[in-house]
């Protein structure tokens, strides 16, 4: 176990579920691993490559062990892990706290220790642990504590990505249970509504989010454009992806990509690799942003403190019209008489502007404006 612990920063990676659902196999994983390295995702911080549900046979073997489906993974999971590791990536897999996974494959209820051993033997570095088919008579907290303990018993650092969809307010206890992240909502789908619902529901819980245990607002849908397993509502626009990625980064939560990296448009790739946004997400202090201003139609501006003494000022317009989004710097604590202005650098364009007292940009419908802000003498 690393002395400093796992997940000092929000975990970053890729997960198979959003695009591929049950249609996974080792070729997809190998090709995704290649892309993650060759196209700069690993370098940008995306290190975990995670296989979600539907990887196993429907029955355990004679020793009670989970078995990888030999049609999907003909070389076995150890070989998949070895390929992923040889690329410099970390390898993630999936099981469930209930008796079956959500897609009906065998899961780890009362098999926690033997399954943790199997994952450790295969070389797993990350375990997403879901919540379907969890017996009503069993205690949720006990079973998440148990899998955390079973993973630790393996003496291999395995990040526990708990996924109980917000049941029993995991932000209040999952950190104590030993997990490094906890899914706090139901499943994302590729729609602007889903993105905004998740963000709005979790904003009040961000004070609990922080180093070593992160609020997982679900895998990203950036770049899916209506294709794939959770893209059943027609897909999102680039403006909506900016808002999605911008909110996840502003909130300092895990960034797990969900699109097909072998077929990603340049705009989405640039967004997912945006260095400024990733640095905001990964800021060591992971402070929650607070609202400077908001309206009933969802328009809002935020300020977030960063560890280098700068700030983020972010303006979102989820309304249906292009509209002004306001901010009065007085509400961030900056009184005019102090003699400072804010120098704002647009994280998307690099454009630099200087403002005193307020900034009220016109933001296109469903889009955002995000700036790194620095105090400068007037
Ligand atoms: C649940 C989870 C999803 C995904 C599926 C797999 O719905 O919340 O993220 O893992 O199960 O079946």
| Mean pLDDT, the chain cut into blocks of 10 residues (378 residues total) | 82 98 98 98 98 98 98 98 98 98 98 98 98 98 98 97 98 98 98 98 98 98 97 93 99 99 98 98 98 98 98 98 98 97 98 98 98 97
Any atom of ligand 1 within 6 Å of the Cβ of 216: no
Please give the distance, rounded to the nearest whole angstrom, from the Cα atom of residue 54 to the centre of ligand 1: 10
Q: Whose CA is nearest to atom 3 of ligand 1?
A: 187
- Annotation marks residue 130 as catalytic: yes
* Residue 112, pLDDT score: 98
pTM, full prediction? 0.98
Any atom of ligand 1 within 6 Å of the Cβ of 163: yes
The CATH code that applies to domain 3-281 is: 3.20.20.70
Provide the CATH topology of domain 290-377: Immunoglobulin-like (2.60.40)
* Residue 234, pLDDT score: 85
Query: Which one of 15, 22, 52, 101 would you pick to mutate in the ligand 1 pocket, going by the greatest count of ligand atoms within 8 A of its CB?
Result: 52
Among residues 53, 125, 130, 367, the one annotated as catalytic is 130
Any atom of ligand 1 within 6 Å of the Cβ of 52: yes
* Adjacency order of strands within the sheet including 90-96: 214-216, 181-183, 159-162, 126-130, 90-96, 48-50, 12-15, 255-257
Any atom of ligand 1 within 6 Å of the Cβ of 187: yes
Q: Whose CA is nearest to atom 9 of ligand 1?
A: 187
Please give the distance, rounded to the nearest whole angstrom, from the Cα atom of residue 245 to the centre of ligand 1: 20
Q: Whose CA is nearest to atom 8 of ligand 1?
A: 187
* Residue 2, pLDDT score: 53
* Residue 176, pLDDT score: 98
Any atom of ligand 1 within 6 Å of the Cβ of 260: no
Give the domain ranges of the chain: 3-281, 290-377
- Annotation marks residue 187 as catalytic: yes
Among residues 187, 197, 238, 294, the one annotated as catalytic is 187
Please give the distance, rounded to the nearest whole angstrom, from the Cα atom of residue 17 to the centre of ligand 1: 7
Please give the distance, rounded to the nearest whole angstrom, from the Cα atom of residue 14 to the centre of ligand 1: 14
Any atom of ligand 1 within 6 Å of the Cβ of 186: no
Please give the distance, rounded to the nearest whole angstrom, from the Cα atom of residue 176 to the centre of ligand 1: 23
């Amino acid at each position: 176990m690393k002395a400093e612990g796992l997940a000092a920063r929000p975990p970053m990676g890729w997960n198979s579920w959003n695009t591929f659902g049950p249609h996974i196999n080792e070729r997809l994983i190998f090709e995704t691993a290649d892309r993650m390295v060759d196209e700069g995702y690993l370098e940008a911080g995306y290190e975990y490559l995670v296989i979600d549900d539907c990887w196993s046979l429907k029955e355990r073997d004679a020793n009670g062990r989970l078995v990888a489906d030999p049609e999907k993974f003909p070389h076995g999971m150890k070989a998949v892990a070895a390929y992923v590791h040889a690329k410099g990536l970390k390898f993630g897999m999936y099981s469930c706290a209930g008796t079956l996974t959500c897609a009906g494959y065998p899961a780890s209820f009362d098999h926690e220790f033997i399954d943790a051993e199997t994952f450790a033997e295969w070389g797993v570095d990350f375990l997403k642990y879901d919540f379907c088919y969890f017996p009503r008579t069993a205690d949720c907290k006990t079973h998440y504590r148990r899998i955390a303990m079973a993973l630790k018993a393996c003496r291999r650092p395995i990040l526990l990505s708990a996924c109980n969809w917000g049941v029993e307010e995991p932000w209040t206890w999952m950190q104590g249970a030993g997990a490094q992240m906890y899914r706090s909502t139901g499943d994302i789908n590729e729609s602007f509504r889903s993105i905004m619902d998740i963000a709005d529901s979790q904003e009040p819980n961000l004070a609990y989010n922080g180093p070593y245990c992160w609020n997982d607002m679900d895998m990203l849908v950036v770049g899916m454009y209506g294709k794939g397993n959770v893209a059943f509502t027609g897909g999102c626009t680039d403006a909506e992806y900016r808002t999605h990625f911008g909110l996840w980064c502003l909130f300092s939560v895990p960034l797990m990509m969900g699109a097909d990296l072998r077929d990603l448009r340049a705009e989405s790739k640039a967004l997912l690799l945006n260095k400024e946004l990733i640095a905001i997400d990964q800021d060591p202090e992971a402070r929650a942003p607070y609202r400077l201003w908001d309206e009933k139609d969802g328009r809002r501006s935020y300020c977030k403190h960063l560890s280098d003494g700068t700030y983020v000022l972010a303006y979102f317009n989820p309304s249906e019209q292009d509209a002004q989004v306001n901010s009065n710097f007085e509400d961030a604590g900056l009184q005019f008489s102090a003699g400072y202005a804010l120098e704002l650098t647009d994280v998307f364009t690099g454009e630099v502007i200087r403002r005193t007292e307020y900034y009220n940009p016109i933001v296109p419908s469903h889009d955002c404006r995000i700036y790194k802000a620095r105090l400068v003498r007037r």
